[in-house]
Every structure is written in structure tokens, then in C-alpha cells.
């Protein structure tokens, strides 16, 4: 039973459930159920602990994967396109062994992007607290987990003590009312929200996504929605676990089973915001009015429905925002008033913890079946995990991508970000199912347009930015 009696938000309940002690000054000592590391920062955190002579409190609750730096070329090993990438892989492997934690190594059949494999394997669960030295840990909110990104020093703290010192964020409920139009996805919902409220719009808040349109989403789509809570500057985002979430969890390797499952299900059923609970802030969005959305600039807030012209900084009242828009247009090689629909692209990328799960690949493949990527467009699909890759191959999805002209990769973060390895190149315009369109995110000078996997597939085939249906073709 939960130690909460008054009308509470889900955030209140999760907080109370995990609160070990009130530290005063607004800070709580929260119990941390799972720590997940990756080779980019994992070895630094593990080494930090070892150097300080500190042990892991419970190695069984700590996991590690190879996703950020590892290559995604077929036949990959420890060598990487990123200079010195091998050092990270080797150091992480050694540190993980030393610490006695479960490592999903380069050739492990369960290897993959941290936020894809942790729910896939039942490591992240509804109502659990999960942290990782990676900002997109909020993805797991899609399952109803309280999950957030931390730095390496905090990861050391979590591993050594099984807890973190955290200030409780304010609560914000974002209700998506109504039904999404056909072809509109969770990616469009979150871009729409960030475009409307600004990239700083969720600062200081934990966002509960609610409403009919959210309830109707699969758990995988809910993870897409929550993935970009951090791009909204939120502490995290989550969706209350329901029957859909409980059904998702069942049968996964690390998930409860047998009599524990019944206990867990009863526990998860208590995890919702009470009807009369008060939120610090509320936003309501008409889901039916959301269109396929794409970014034009270098912040996720720089987005618009495909078919609308790029805005003019001159019409922005806020000087800092105006300056940001001006710089973004320069970097992206765009002019105010220009149409994005019809804009030629050089690259198309489907992958990342935002949109690389099986349902994403299915949706893109449904569009691609029998079609070809336009000449001159370099198209890449990177499944989020080796498990996703295997499942896709079993369905013949890899063939659809390959026949269309996409390259089909091993699982990993790949070109979601640039670490000195592979990139589409300077000045190249890329439509991408990822979550960050920051300057240089996909490589120095690379111009990233964020969109849903279906929009990426449609644009790859057209050779220019377009939505999946024919209605708003400009060029």
C-alpha cells in the first residue's frame, strides 16, 4: 500500500514510494531501483568509485551497455570509426567486470541503446526509479517509471548508496485531448508541444502526459513522447501505467513473474493521479489539430507543421529568441518565409532512442514497401537494439529497407550524435528520427531536421522534405 492518503498526483505517489528520508531544504533522499551505464561515461563513474575505494551497494541493480561509441557497421568489433573509441569500450568492459555488473557487450544478443533495452528486458518497470548518466533516461516514463538523466558523479552516488539526493520537481500535467489524425505520431505530439511552449517550457517540472490521445498510444509510442521531455527542459516525463503498460512488461526477462507478477500488478494499479489531485501547472492540447511536424532550426522548439513557411525572426518580440532564430537560420541555410516542404535532402536517418523500436521500423517499412530512396540521398536505418533488429529481420523488414536503398545496421546510437566517427558531412541536410537538432549534433556543419520515422521514410523517397500523404507537396 502506498503511504499517501490525500488526493495526490502520480508524482507525489512515486516520490513517497521511493523516499528514504527527508533531507530538509526541499531535498529528499530517494531510493534508486536501477542504474544503467553506457561506455561513454560508465567507465568514468565506475573508475571514480574504485579510485575512492567504494563498493557498489548492490551490483545486481546496476547494468551497462555498449551503445554510444560502438560502430554500427556490419561485422563490428571493438575498433571504432571514432578515433580512440576503442579505449572507451575496453575500459568500460574492464570496469564492468571488476564491479560485477551485467554488461550488454558489443556482441551480446541483447545489446542495444540503453533506453531501448532497459524496458525491452524488463529492467525498467512501472513505478521504478531508474537513472543513467544520459539525459534521455526520461524515455522510460513511457512505461510509468520515474526515470531521469544524471551526471557521472551522481551515478557514483547512486551506485555507492542505492539512493540520490533530489529536489522534488513541480508537477505539470499535459493533457492531449481527442484523437490524432491518421499519419500523426507521438513524435509529432512532442515536437508540437515543444514548439508551442518553448524548449524551456517544462523547466523545473515533472510532466505527466495524459488524455485520450496518450492513453491510445502503445507503450513504445509513449516512450517516444517521454524521450523528448528533456528537450522540453523537464526533469522527466511519464505516463501513468495502465493495462497497456502491464501487458507490455509481462514475460520480459528481468520483469516479475509468477506470484510476484500478481503482487506487482496490484502495486502498479495504484499508480495514477487521483481525480481531484492538484497540479502546479496544467496544459491542454487538442491532439486532433496536430499535423506531421518537422524542425527548421537548431532547437526542437524551432518546429512547424510540414507545409508552413519558416518564421521570420523579425516578428519575434523576445530579443534572445530572435537572436537564436537568426543564428539557426544561418546554420541551417534557410531564409524566413521559405517552405520546408520540397526542400531537397542529402541524408535520411531512422534510429535513436526516440524512434528505433520495432513499431517505428514497421511504420517506416509500411511506407517504404515497393519504393526506392531518391537518387543522391544517403539513407540509414539503425535498429535500437539487437533484439529489435532480430525481430525486424524475422518479419522481413530488413529486406524492405534494403530493397528501398537504406543501409541496415547493427544496433547502437550511431549517427544520432557525432563523436568524431561517422557523419553525413558538413552542409548536408538530413531528415532524422532523432531528438536533437543542435548545431553539430550529427557532425560539424550537418543540418538536422527532426521528424517522425514515417516522415523520414517519405522524405527519403521523395528526395525532399515531405509528409507521408500527398496532400501538401510543394515542389
Partner 1 sequence: MEPLSPLRRHTGIAVPLLRNNIDTDAIIPSREMKRVSKHGLGEGLFAAWRYTLPGSREADPAFILNDPAYRGASILLAGANFGCGSSREHAVWALHEYGFRVIIAPSFGSIFYSNCVRNGILPVELDEAAIARLAGAVAGDPAGRPLTVDLEAGQVLDPEGRALGFTINPGHRRMLMEGLDVIGLTLERAADIDAFEQADRQRRPWIYR
Q: Which of residues 42-61 bind partner 1 (CB under 8 A)?
A: 43-44, 47-48, 52, 54, 57-58, 60-61
Pairing of strands 347-350, 378-381: parallel
Taking CB under 8 A as the criterion, which residues in 246-275 touch partner 1?
255-256, 260-261, 263-264, 267
Residue (32 or 413) nearer to ligand SF4, CB: 413
CA distance 303 to 282: 22
Query: For residue 162, which of 17, 40, 29 has the smallest C-alpha distance?
Result: 29
How many residues make contact with ligand SF4 (CB under 6 A)? 12
Helix, strand, coil % in the chain, rounded to nearest 5: 35, 20, 45
Among 12, 71, 156, 360, contact with partner 1 (rule: CB under 8 A): 156
CA distance 94 to 386: 22
Query: For residue 442, which of 422, 457, 456, 463 has the smallest C-alpha distance?
Result: 422
Query: What, of ligand SF4, partner 1, none, does residue 161 touch, CB below 5 to 8 Å by kind?
Result: partner 1
Taking CB under 6 A as the criterion, which residues in 118-177 touch ligand SF4?
134, 136
Spatial neighbors of 111 by CB under 8 A, at least 6 apart, are 65, 66, 67, 104, 105, 117, 385, 386, 411
Interaction of residue 81 with partner 1, rule CB under 8 A: no
Least distance in Å: CB of 330 to ligand SF4?
25
Least distance in Å: CB of 44 to partner 1?
6
Give strand pairing partners of 170.
205
Query: What, of ligand SF4, partner 1, none, does residue 203 touch, CB below 5 to 8 Å by kind?
Result: partner 1
User: What residue ranges in 95-219 does DSSP mark as E strands?
Assistant: 102-104, 129-132, 146-149, 163-167, 170-177, 205-210
Interaction of residue 4 with partner 1, rule CB under 8 A: no
CA distance 408 to 380: 6
Residue (287 or 450) nearer to ligand SF4, CB: 450
Question: What burial letters (b/e) apply to 411-426, b meaning 16+ CB within 10 Å?
Answer: bbbbbbbbbebbbbee
Residue (52 or 394) nearer to partner 1, CB: 52
Least distance in Å: CB of 185 to ligand SF4?
17
Which helix (H) or strand (E) covers residue 191, if one does? helix 186-197
Interaction of residue 353 with ligand SF4, rule CB under 6 A: yes
CA distance 221 to 40: 26
Query: What, of partner 1, ligand SF4, none, does residue 352 touch, CB below 5 to 8 Å by kind?
Result: ligand SF4
Residue (344 or 425) nearer to partner 1, CB: 425
Total residues found in the chain within this entry: 475
Among 252, 327, 390, 428, contact with partner 1 (rule: CB under 8 A): 327
Interaction of residue 152 with partner 1, rule CB under 8 A: yes
Taking CB under 6 A as the criterion, which residues in 420-459 touch ligand SF4?
435
Residue (45 or 460) nearer to partner 1, CB: 45
Interaction of residue 24 with partner 1, rule CB under 8 A: yes
- Report the interface residues with ligand SF4, using CB under 6 A: 67-68, 113, 115, 134, 136, 352-353, 413, 416-417, 435
Amino acid at each position: 500500500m502506498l503511504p499517501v492518503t490525500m488526493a495526490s498526483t502520480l508524482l507525489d505517489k512515486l516520490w513517497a514510494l521511493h523516499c528514504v528520508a527527508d533531507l530538509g531544504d526541499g531535498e529528499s533522499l530517494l531510493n534508486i531501483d536501477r542504474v544503467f551505464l553506457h561506455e561513454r561515461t560508465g567507465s568514468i563513474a565506475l573508475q571514480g568509485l574504485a579510485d575512492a575505494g567504494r563498493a557498489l551497494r548492490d551490483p545486481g541493480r546496476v547494468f551497462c551497455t555498449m551503445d554510444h561509441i560502438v560502430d554500427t557497421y556490419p561485422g563490428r568489433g571493438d575498433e571504432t570509426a571514432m578515433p580512440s573509441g576503442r579505449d572507451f569500450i575496453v575500459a568500460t568492459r574492464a570496469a564492468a567486470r571488476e564491479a560485477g555488473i551485467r554488461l550488454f557487450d558489443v556482441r551480446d544478443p541483447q545489446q542495444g541503446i540503453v533506453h531501448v533495452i532497459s524496458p525491452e528486458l524488463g529492467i525498467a518497470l512501472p513505478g521504478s526509479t531508474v537513472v543513467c548518466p544520459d539525459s534521455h533516461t526520461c524515455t522510460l516514463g513511457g512505461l510509468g517509471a520515474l526515470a531521469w538523466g544524471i551526471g557521472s558523479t551522481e551515478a557514483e552516488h547512486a551506485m555507492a548508496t542505492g539512493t540520490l539526493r533530489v529536489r522534488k520537481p513541480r508537477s505539470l500535467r499535459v493533457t492531449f485531448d481527442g484523437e490524432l489524425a491518421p499519419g500523426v505520431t507521438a513524435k509529432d505530439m512532442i515536437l508540437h508541444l515543444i514548439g508551442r511552449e518553448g524548449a524551456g517550457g517544462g523547466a523545473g517540472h515533472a510532466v505527466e502526459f495524459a488524455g485520450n490521445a496518450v492513453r491510445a498510444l502503445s507503450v513504445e509510442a509513449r516512450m517516444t513522447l517521454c524521450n523528448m521531455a528533456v528537450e522540453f527542459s523537464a526533469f522527466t516525463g511519464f505516463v501513468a501505467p495502465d493495462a497497456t503498460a502491464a501487458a507490455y512488461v509481462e514475460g520480459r526477462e528481468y520483469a516479475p513473474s509468477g506470484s510476484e507478477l500478481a503482487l506487482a500488478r496490484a502495486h502498479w494499479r495504484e499508480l495514477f493521479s487521483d481525480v481531484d489531485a492538484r497540479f502546479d501547472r496544467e496544459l491542454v492540447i487538442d491532439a486532433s489539430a496536430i499535423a506531421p511536424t518537422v524542425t527548421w532550426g537548431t532547437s526542437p522548439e524551432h518546429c512547424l507543421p510540414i507545409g508552413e513557411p519558416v518564421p521570420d525572426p523579425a516578428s519575434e518580440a523576445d530579443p534572445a529568441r530572435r537572436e537564436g532564430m537568426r543564428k539557426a537560420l544561418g546554420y541551417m541555410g534557410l531564409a524566413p518565409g521559405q517552405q520546408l516542404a520540397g526542400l531537397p535532402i542529402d541524408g535520411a536517418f531512422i534510429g535513436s532512442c526516440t524512434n528505433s523500436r520495432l513499431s517505428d521500423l514497421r511504420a517506416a517499412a509500411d511506407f517504404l514497401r515497393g519504393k526506392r530512396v531518391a537518387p543522391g540521398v544517403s539513407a540509414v536505418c539503425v535498429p535500437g537494439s539487437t533484439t529489435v533488429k532480430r525481430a525486424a529481420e524475422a518479419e522481413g523488414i530488413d529486406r524492405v529497407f534494403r530493397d528501398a536503398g537504406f543501409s541496415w545496421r547493427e544496433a547502437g546510437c550511431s549517427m544520432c550524435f557525432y563523436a568524431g566517427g561517422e557523419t553525413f558531412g558538413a552542409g548536408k541536410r538530413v531528415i532524422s528520427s532523432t531528438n536533437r537538432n543542435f548545431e553539430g549534433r550529427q557532425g560539424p556543419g550537418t543540418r538536422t531536421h527532426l521528424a517522425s520515422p514515417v516522415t523520414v521514410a517519405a522524405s527519403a523517397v521523395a528526395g525532399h522534405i515531405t509528409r507521408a500523404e500527398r496532400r501538401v507537396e510543394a515542389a
